[in-house]
Amino acid sequence: MSTDELADHVAQLSLIDHHVHGVARGPLDRAAFEQLITESDRPMMSTFDSQLGVAIRRHCAPLLGLEPLVSADAYLEARSALDESELSRIFLTATGVSDYLVDTGYSGDLVTSVDELAQLSGSRTHEVVRLEAELEYVAEHESDVSAVPDAFLKRLESRTKGAVGLKSIVAYRHGFGFDPSEPSRAEVLTALDRWYSNRDRLSDPVLLRWLLWTGARRGLPLQLHVGFGDSDLQLDKTNPTLLTEWLRRIEPLGTQVVLLHCYPYHREAGYLAHVFPHVSFDLGLTTMYVGARAATVLAEGLELAPFGKVLYSSDAFGPAELHYLGATLWRRAITAVLGGFVAEGEWSPADAGRVAGLIGRENAVRLYGIGG
Ligand SMILES: [Zn+2]
């Protein structure tokens, strides 16, 4: 396989996007679009002046019949001539993704449902269920604190019947510096009492780690947000090495843990995937946001990680450009990185092609038992 053949092979790869959200339901004006291409929720100068903004002008403009790197104004003007569902069809059918694993726990009313995403994209979709959202649902419907633990287990069982994974956002709600032990029923009930009396956002570390343990016992792959995200998290508390003792303790359960995004801790994630058989990770969201630097970051992620432990995701939310861009930038980055190893005489072309297939598809097929 020559470098050109590797690029062709990667371009043809049918990807599994193992962490993604729906596309925007309604029309996005300039302000709404610009707000969805940054992780900040504060008013900013044009968010187009960023790696992601340039990548949209470079890679998405041609799909709207524009030259690569047209101005942001020209891009947005062409975009505004189409409605959101037409845009979604254009970008989603160009991603080359066969299966989307959809996290339904974040702002679900703003974006398409799991079924709608399947209709727009023509791809298969599967649900990933958020633990915190399910406990919040139970708390809304159960006034008796002592009934909550059983009600939650029941709810989890019914919600995960057709689901392929679970997700936790403990990184946002507390960070990873929690007691790694499983809380007792008495501790959980005391914490529930406390939460029921103030009804703040669910951020109690006892309840959050109870959810993690309960999720780990459910046996489905458990996704954890790690590192880079919006201003709601404190980055230094999301270093995945803080999870080391918890990972050791849940290892006998046999549940797979998947670390999502990971930047700037992708090297730490690679280390954890290296030493623990039940840990995998991705660079979703990161690949998109670092744009022209995607190959460098991906190469860093591949320093220590076994190649069977790295997955592809976009973590796109909202504009369908992001679903397309995640896939496009990943294909470019993996081709550059693995093609570079081949060009240096360090890897065989066959190895490069095989590893691209593992990361883009086969690792997710094995981990989630989907696709094939
Ligand atoms: Zn996400």
Of all residues in the chain, what percent carry a pLDDT higher than 90? 91
Distance from the alpha carbon of residue 260 to the mean position of ligand 1, in angstroms: 8
Residue of 243, 256, 254, 235 whose CA lies nearest to 209: 243
CB 68 within 8 A of CB 59: yes
Q: How far is the CA of 144 from the centre of ligand 1 (A)?
A: 32
Q: How many domains does the chain have?
A: 2
Q: Are 91 and 155 part of one and the same domain?
A: yes
- Measured in Å, residue 187 CA sits from the centre of ligand 1 at 30
| C-alpha 316 – ligand 1 centre gap (Å) | 7
Q: Are residues 116 and 69 in the same domain?
A: no
Q: Which domain holds residue 52?
A: 28-82
Question: CA–CA separation, 349 vs 357, rounded Å?
Answer: 13
Is residue 75 domain-shared with residue 8, that is, in the same domain? no
pLDDT tier, 372 (very low <50, low <70, confident <90, very high otherwise): low
Rounded distance from Cα 81 to ligand 1 centre (Å): 28
Does residue 3 surpass a pLDDT of 90? no
Cα–Cα distances (Å) from 78 to 59, 82, 329, 347, in that order, read 14, 7, 22, 43
231 pLDDT tier (thresholds 50, 70, 90): confident
Q: Do residues 362 and 268 share a domain? A: yes
22 C-alpha to center of ligand 1: Å?
A: 10
User: Could you tell me if 144 and 252 lie in one domain?
Assistant: yes
Average pLDDT over residues 209-219: 98
226 and 316 co-located in one domain: yes
pLDDT tens per residue across span 160-193: 999 999 999 999 999 999 999 999 999 999 999 9
- Residue 178: name the closest of 133, 218, 222, 212 by CA: 212
Over residues 25-51, mean pLDDT: 88
Which residues are in the CB-under-5-Å shell of ion ligand 1? 315
| Per-residue pLDDT at 247 exceeds 80 | yes
Residues 68 and 194 in one domain: no
Mark whether 36 and 11 lie in a shared domain.
no
Q: Do 288 and 147 share a domain, yes or no?
A: yes
Regarding whether 88 and 78 lie in a shared domain, the answer is no
Instruction: Please report which confidence band the pLDDT of residue 136 belongs to, taking 50, 70 and 90 as the band edges.
Output: very high
Q: Which of 50, 82, 114 corresponds to the end of one domain?
A: 82
CA of 161 from ligand 1 middle (Å) equals 21
d(CA 171, CA 263): 13
Q: Is the pLDDT of residue 43 over 80?
A: no
343 CA to centre of ligand 1 in angstroms? 35
- CATH number of domain containing 265: 3.20.20.140
Average pLDDT over residues 78-90: 95
Domain end (from 39, 66, 82) = 82
Q: 188 and 53 share a domain?
A: no
Q: What are the two backbone dihedrals, phi and then psi, of residue 215, each rounded to the nearest 5 degrees?
A: -60, -45
Q: Count Cβ neighbours within 10 Å for each residue of 261-277 and write b for 16 or more, e otherwise.
A: bbbebbebbbbbbeebe
Q: Compute the distance from residue 157 Cα to the ligand 1 centre, in Å.
A: 23
- Measured in Å, residue 7 CA sits from the centre of ligand 1 at 28
The verdict on 286 and 203 lying in the same domain is yes
Task: Determine the residue type at 226.
Answer: V
